[in-house]
């Protein structure tokens, strides 16, 4: 199986749709901005594919759901929230120059959404296809996770349109990821008159940072990285409070369980200090086995296509964890996610749109022959 001759798709039209989405601005947690963004995403889908996109309200903003009808067979998954605050567009406006599209959210992941929609528009029949575009992926998908899992199980195959890995590779595996927050309660005292009367939360936090860092096992893919710490507020007072935050990435369910147990077992070093721990590995690992069959199809369609396991998480972690075949990184080819130099390569947009169409055809053909 190889991809049919590349069907003409208007890159100019894709760029204009991308401009429309980017210039809305859609930072996570900004419910007013996300409401406008969701309506705009729905409009782009309806204009290109017909039918009606439904807005599903949630406490984190509206999710967008569209169906081509018939028995569900493949879920196109993405998100319309971005990490950039309102006003970023003024400083970094949408632009197309020297073969690159730039602007807040172009790579993560508005470019992928546009490519997916235009790729689906190449199909004569959209039956069995669903699109779900969520409003909260960048903050861990607290309100959309159950919906994502439900629609993934109903469809039986998931194509995730997060940006591609370096060089345009698909993302065939992802680490599980999460954050842990450790709070320390000590006792304040005068740092000059009676420091011994206090319980120094900063010193306790320093001990805990070393304990936490030691949980990592990078040789098997487990990283535990203390990232944020705070303590005290006045230079002559023994601090009574401190906090430590750590980012965690794991490649296996076994390591997920070990890390969560290790954080739960943390104990204070100083007498009378108290600690509390919150957090978890909210996105379970996505093993490469979850993408193997779909990636093989993609390679047949586009010989030379590479796959890569990456450290970042996506909603594909959730769909893989419930046992649904999932292929990620099908979105824009470019780079700079979450950074000011974020960009999309124009030259890859048409090929990726055609890959969408080829994958959907192949999945439906496999289901028909099952």
CA-angle at 106, arms to 49 and 62, nearest 5°: 60
For 323, phi and psi rounded to 5 degrees?
Answer: 90, 15
Compute, in degrees rounded to 10, the torsion defined by CA atoms 266, 269, 272, 277: -20
Sign of the dihedral through C-alpha 339, 302, 70, 40: positive
Report the helix count and the strand count for the chain, using DSSP H and E: 10, 18
Through-space distance between the first and last CA atoms of the chain, rounded to whole angstroms: 17
Contact 182, 277 (CB under 8 A): yes
- C-alpha separations of 171 from 141, 283, 291 in Å: 19, 16, 9
Instruction: With beta carbons less than 8 A apart as the criterion, state whether 27 and 82 touch.
Output: yes
- Residue among 137, 138, 162, 211 flagged as catalytic: 137
283: DSSP letter: E
Catalytic: which of 25, 81, 130, 204? 81
Active site residue 30: no
Q: Give the count of beta carbons closer than 10 Å to the beta carbon of residue 239.
A: 24
The answer to whether 287 and 120 have CB atoms below 8 angstroms apart is no
Contact 128, 70 (CB under 8 A): yes
CA distance 327 to 288: 9
Length reported for the chain = 370
Tokens 């807005």 label which residue?
55
Distance CA 191, CA 2 (A): 72
Residue with tokens 């901005």: 33
For the question of residue 98 being annotated catalytic, the response is: no
CB 215 within 8 A of CB 189: no
Active site residues: 81, 137
């Amino acid at each position: 199986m190889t991809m049919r001759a590349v069907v003409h798709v208007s890159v100019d039209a894709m760029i204009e749709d991308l401009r429309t989405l980017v210039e809305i601005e859609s930072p996570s947690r900004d419910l007013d901005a996300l409401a406008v963004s969701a309506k705009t995403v729905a409009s782009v889908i309806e204009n290109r594919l017909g039918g009606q996109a439904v807005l599903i309200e949630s406490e984190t903003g509206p999710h967008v759901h569209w169906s081509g009808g018939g028995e569900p067979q493949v879920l196109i998954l993405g998100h319309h929230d971005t990490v950039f605050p309102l006003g970023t567009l003024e400083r970094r406006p949408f632009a197309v120059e020297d073969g690159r599209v730039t602007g807040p959210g172009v790579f993560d992941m508005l470019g992928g959404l546009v490519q997916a929609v235009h790729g689906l528009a190449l199909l004569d029949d959209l039956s069995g296809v669903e699109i779900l575009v969520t409003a909260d992926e960048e903050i861990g998908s607290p309100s959309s996770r159950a919906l994502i899992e439900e629609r993934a199980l109903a469809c039986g195959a998931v194509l995730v349109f997060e940006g591609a890995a370096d060089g345009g590779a698909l993302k065939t595996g992802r680490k599980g990821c999460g954050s842990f927050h450790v709070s320390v309660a000590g006792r304040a005292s005068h740092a000059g008159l009676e420091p011994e009367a206090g319980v120094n939360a900063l010193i306790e936090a320093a001990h805990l940072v070393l304990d936490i860092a030691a949980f990592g096992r990078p040789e098997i893919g487990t990283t535990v990285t203390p990232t944020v710490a705070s303590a005290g507020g006045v230079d002559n007072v023994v601090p009574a409070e401190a906090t430590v935050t750590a980012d965690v990435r794991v490649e296996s369910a076994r390591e997920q369980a070990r890390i969560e147990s290790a954080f739960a077992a943390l104990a204070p070093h100083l007498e009378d200090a108290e600690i509390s721990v919150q957090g978890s590995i909210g996105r379970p690992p996505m093993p490469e086995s979850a993408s193997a069959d779909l990636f093989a199809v993609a390679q047949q369609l586009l010989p030379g296509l590479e796959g890569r396991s990456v450290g970042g998480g996506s909603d594909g972690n959730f769909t893989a964890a419930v046992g649904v075949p999932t292929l990620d990184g099908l979105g824009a080819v470019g780079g700079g996610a979450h950074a000011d130099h974020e960009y999309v390569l124009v030259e890859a947009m048409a090929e990726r749109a055609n890959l969408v169409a080829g994958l959907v055809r192949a999945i439906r053909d496999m289901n028909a022959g099952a």
